[in-house]
Structure 1
Amino acid sequence: RQLPLPVRTGGSSAMIGSTGYGGSSSSRAMGLGICAAGLSMGGGRGAGGLVSGGVPMIGYGGGAGGGYFGGVSPGIMASPAFTAGRAITSAGMSGVVGTLGPAGGMVPSLVSRDEVKNILGTLNQRLASYVDKVRQLTIENETLEEELKNLTGDLWNFELSVRMQLETDIGNMKRDLEAANDMRVDLESKFKFLTEELTFQKKTQMEELNTLKQQFGRLGPAQTSVIEVDNVKSVNLTDALNVMREEYQQVVTKNVQEAETYCKMQTTEQIAVLDNEINTLEKELQPLNVEYQRLLTTYQTLGDRLTDLQNRESIDLEIEGNQVDLQRQLVTYQQLLDVKTALDAEIATYKKLLEGQELMYVICGVFRSQEP
């Protein structure tokens, strides 16, 4: 269907037919329009919009700067069905501008080149800060990984040395305990041997005493007469034997008591030595327990830091995904810029054709006015 294309040149407007397509004339019409504020041979750029049939249109405009058509702003217009436009900018083109205006009127630009430069500068700064942040996070991640590796190695070496020291101390304690047990067994054996020897001595002495008593009983009558004869110079054998027995009993009792005292003293000394060694080992074990608790706390802290590093790694993966998405968007952006450039070139060609037709109309009018 033929759609009118309004063109404003030098303050005047004219309706030029152009080929278009669309659905209904009210909501889905799509057309190609050109809105110019005046022809100029300068190198300026502009932005324009289209108002067709009294219905405001949203324009995707772009400057067609160069050696000519400065001040001419071609654009591809969308119907009111498309209620939003995307801004596509580049260093050599003016921004896409959405404009609203009355029918047949000029639509001013909403985004200037300075604003476009500011927007691009802001985007570049944000991209640079984003890249710097990613680089900084990468460096921090590497530093933390190296620190974790060093701490893990130091912790492993320290645990190994502590384990070896504890194993050595435990081995020494076991040897000391075995030596104490051997000494106790030896002392018990000696005590048992002395007790058996004492019992044997008692038994032997009792047998000898009984033998002497028997011999004294057989010799009793004969000796009695002798004793009675020489009563003054004789010694009572029974009293002597009793004295000897008491002395021997005292000696035996003394030996038993000394043996028991010696055994008890040796046992007490060994127990005291073992108690001192146990107390010393317990005192040495206390700082080791404290160090073990500290190492356990350090291990838990390192585990938490490892979890944090894993979380940061997931963040780094997300950042890489965002970078890939950003590259994809940049590629899409470049493709859209290429499409816009091609459309600008096509619109410039249509502009030339329209200007040529207008010039032909003027020449034809001059020729007709000169005819008689």
Structure 2
Amino acid sequence: MSCSIKRTSSTSYRSGGGVCGGGSGRNSSVSCRQYASSVIGGGSYGGGACSIGYGGGMSAGSLAGGFGGGLGGGFGGGLGGGFGGGFAGGFGAGGDILLSGNEKVTMQNLNDRLAAYLDKVRRLEEENAQLEHHIREWYRKQAPSVSKDYTSYYQTIEQLQNQIISATVDNNRLLLDIDNSKMTADDFRMKYENELVIRQTVEADISGLRNLLDDLTRTRSSLESELESLKDELIALKRNHEEEMRQLQSQTGGDVSVEVNAAPGEDLTKTLNDLRNEYEQIIEKNRREVEQWYEVKIEEVNRQVTSSSQDIQTSSHQLTELRREMQNLEIELQAQLSTKNSLENSLAETESRYGCLLQQIQGQINSINSEEEWLASIRCEMESQNQEYKMLLGIKTRLEQEIAQYRALLQ
């Protein structure tokens, strides 16, 4: 029940020797009309304010000779009802008067108003009980019969978190494998570069040996040409020698015979033969030396070429193996990269899917929390209405007690 609270100032009326003051109170939806004071004999009577929310007690200023000697010159009273309601009245000193018919009518009117107020309180109690019944019915229909069990959601969330952690661990392991593969590829690349440098060095050596072979070939050709020229020269010398021999024989031939007593001359044939033999020996010696030197050089060059060819074959084989291994590593690296991309895509899909699930679960939890807050607000409202109901019951009890005291005083 809503109450509007305002304060009203007390009003007092003086007439003759008596005083009656209207009591102050808190006004609500139930308002009481202020009755005008009526002058009886030497006293006056003023009606008080009737309100819900404040009420005074019953106090007697003076009762002369018990209650039968007469009431004081003034009677001030107020009916204060509501959250703290009650009657507030005072008997003050004054002339000795008795209650007249108007006062009885006034008291009857007050009693009727009090009965109407009690009926209203009873009607409010019934409405409150009806409202509580409706709230209980709504609670029974809307509220779940048993509390929801979110253990399955917690288990699902824990499983999803474990899956995310395992996927993260797998991803990190793949990243580590990729780093190891990159390091291995870098090592093989360095080995390849070193082998390439060695190959280039060997090729440079082979080029140098080929140049040397060309030089030796040219030297051999020059020596062969020199040998041919020497042979031609030897043939020419032989031919000249034969011609000279024939000329000498022709000169020494004939029928003239001259005998002189002179010392015998040298044998030219023998001299020429000696010269020829000497030249032939020199030529043969030079030829053998040249052939030996040529054979030695050829053997040396052949050995160098053979060793260089073997080194080239070994380097080519190693280079082929390194290229094959590098191709295998590149293929494995591409496979690892594709696996990484697929795992990253699957991880992103898993995270998005489980993120949606978590958002749905969080939305359900938020809706449940909002329902709990709404139920808590309803519970608070019910508690406030229950407190208001208890206050109204207290007011009713106090009003009944004050009415009983008031009737006892009137009697």
Once the two structures are TM-superposed, the CA of residue 170 in structure 1 deviates from its matched residue by: 0.9
Which residue in the other structure is 1:271 paired with? 298
Q: Kindly tell me: are residues 330 and 124 of structure 1, through their superposed partners in 2, closer, same or farther at Cα, counting changes over 3 Å?
A: closer
Give the equivalent residue in structure 2 for 1:27. Answer: none
| Cα distance in 2 for residues equivalent to 1:280 and 1:250 | 44
Partner of residue 86, structure 2: none
For residues 247 and 151 of structure 1, the distance between their equivalents in structure 2, rounded to whole angstroms, comes to 80
Aligned pair in 2 of structure 1 residues 340, 124: CA closer, same or farther (>3 Å)?
closer
Instruction: State the Cα distance separating 1:171 from its structure 2 match.
Output: 0.9
CA distance in structure 2 between the aligned counterparts of 1:250 and 1:185, rounded to whole angstroms: 31
Of 149, 172, 178, 1:145 maps to 178
Could you state the TM-score of these two structures normalised by the residue count of structure 1?
Answer: 0.54
**Counterpart residue identity of residue 160, structure 1:** E
286, 310, 320: which one pairs with 2:348?
Answer: 320
Within-5 A mapping of 1:1-372: 63=144, 73=145, 93-95=147-149, 116-117=150-151, 119-204=152-237, 206-207=239-240, 209-211=242-244, 213-215=246-248, 217-218=250-251, 220-221=253-254, 224-226=257-259, 240-285=267-312, 287-289=314-316, 291-299=318-326, 300-339=328-367
Larger deviation, residues 127-136 vs 333-342: 333-342
AA partner of residue 199 (structure 2): L
Aligned partner letter, 1:247: D
Contact 2:171 2:343 in 1 (8 A): no
Relative to structure 1, is the Cα distance of residues 257 and 201 closer, same or farther in structure 2, using a 3 angstrom cutoff? closer
Count matched residues.
245
Cα deviations across residues 289-317 of structure 1 (Å, max 9, x unaligned)?
45435423532135314312321221121
Checking the alignment, whether the CA contact within 8 Å between 1:134 and 1:319 is kept in structure 2 is yes
TM-score with structure 2 setting the length: 0.49
Q: Alpha-carbon deviation of 1:219?
A: 5.1
- Report if the CA contact (8 A) 1:184-1:267 is conserved: no
Structure-2 change in CA distance of 1:256 and 1:204 (3 Å) = closer
Q: CA deviation at 1:342?
A: 5.6
Shift in alpha-carbon separation, 1:120–1:310, aligned structure 2, 3 A = same
Residue equivalent to 2:127: none
Q: Answer with 178-187 or 276-285: which moved more.
A: 276-285
Q: CA deviation at 1:214?
A: 2.7
8 Å contact kept, 1:62–1:344: no
User: Is the CA contact 1:62–1:94 (under 8 Å) kept in the aligned structure 2?
Assistant: no
Which AA in structure 1 matches 2:277? Q
**Structure 1 Cα separation of the partners of residues 230 and 190 of structure 2:** 59
Query: Structure 1: where are the runs of 5+ without partners?
Result: 1-17, 19-32, 37-49, 51-60, 64-72, 75-92, 96-115, 357-372
User: C-alpha offsets along residues 235-257 of structure 1, whole Å, 9 cap, x if unaligned?
Assistant: 7x8xx444344434433443343
Greater RCO, CA 8 A, separation 6+: 2
The AA in structure 1 aligned to 2:173 is E
SS at match of 1:94: coil
Q: For 1:335 and 1:209, locate their aligned partners in 2 and report how far apart those are by CA, in whole Å.
A: 130
Moved more, 241-250 or 125-134: 241-250
Asked if structure 2 preserves the Cα contact closer than 8 Å seen for 1:180 and 1:270, the reply is no
Q: What SS does the corresponding residue of 2:346 show, helix, strand or coil?
A: helix
CA-to-partner distance for each residue in 1:86-126, whole Å, 9 max, x for gaps? Answer: xxxxxxx514xxxxxxxxxxxxxxxxxxxx43x34432431
Amino acid at match of 1:251: E
Distance 2:194 2:256 in 1: 89
Query: Which amino acid in structure 1 is aligned with residue 148 of structure 2?
Result: S
Q: Distance in 1 between matches of 2:277 and 2:351?
A: 106
SS at match of 2:344: helix
The alignment-based identity, stated in percent, is: 8
